[in-house]
Amino acid sequence: MAKKDLAVIGNKSFEDLKKVNEHGAEHWSARELQPLLGYSQWRRFEDAIKRAVTSCKQSGNIPDNHFAGVGKMVKLGSESEREVQDYHLSRFACYLIAQNGDPRKPEIANAQKYFAIQARRQEVSDAIAADIERLELRKQTAEEFKALSGAARDAGVHDRMFGVFHDAGYKGMYGGLGRDAIKKHKNIPEKENLMDRMDTTELAANQFRMTQARDKLARDRVKDQQSAIKTHEGVGKEVREAIRRIGGTLPEELPPAEHIKSVAKRVKGVAPKLELKETDAKGLIGNPEDTTK
């Protein structure tokens, strides 16, 4: 997977931050990885690391092979230095941290897609890799929908008007079509969730719409219901215009995709890469043969 598929810090990507230890094993510094994954506070990032350690145990792998606590010297404003807590992380540890991070952070969302595909790329076909990406994106849009609903409530939208609020975003982005009209236009059964029938492109566009709407409501300090609804519709129109400008297919013209439940069932049939190969399971220890040198 290309470096550009994961966020960068300045000109540093995830792969650029990789180091090699005395055992010849690749590893990453948690302190260096922290900003790449969108965390400004070490305390909150360390919480994600601790959840990842638990996941490592539950997957049948040895945490000490993937998470090594170390000290890191940092410079202070007075030209002096002090030691702070850090971890050396295997690639598998980085994968688990991304999976246990806050999916509402764009950096974590990107990392989850990056690792979900990368961790299984060698075992599955490109078609299954595309399925995994769509499943990750569907999960993220569900989280973003919840976050946008919370932002709408903060902006003064009453619970009984949530349907109108969310429909406004669809209408702006889909040329005046609300959720039910979109399903009718695409011949999607009335009882099905619209987002369950969106392909990766359409999901990504809607996730972007919801993210931008949430940010704009907060940035403009919207505090009344009608303004919130109008704001969401306006953001939808802007996203539609951006798609038009770059020559993309307008969302209402994208055909319905296979139901997400069928995709999940197909992916579930492919064993996840949590039962690591021996060299991968050793993680920070590296190849056992190297430790005797």
In which element (H, E) is residue 85 found?
Answer: strand 81-89
* 21 DSSP assignment: -
Q: How far apart are CA 47 and CA 115, in angstroms?
A: 19
Distance CA(209)–CA(231), nearest Å, equals 11
> Which pLDDT value is given to residue 91?
86
**pLDDT tens-digit map of 146-183:** 999 999 999 999 999 999 999 999 999 999 999 999 99
Report yes or no: 225 and 215 within 8 Å, Cβ to Cβ.
no
Q: Rounded to an integer, what distance in angstroms lies between the CA atom of residue 152 and that of residue 100?
A: 26
Average pLDDT over residues 189-210: 96
pTM for this predicted structure: 0.61
Q: Given a cut of 70, is residue 11 above it in pLDDT?
A: no
Which of 55-59, 172-176, 196-200, 249-253 is least confident? 55-59
Residue 251 contacts residue 191 (beta carbons within 8 Å): no
25-34: average pLDDT: 90
Distance CA 199, CA 255 (A): 8
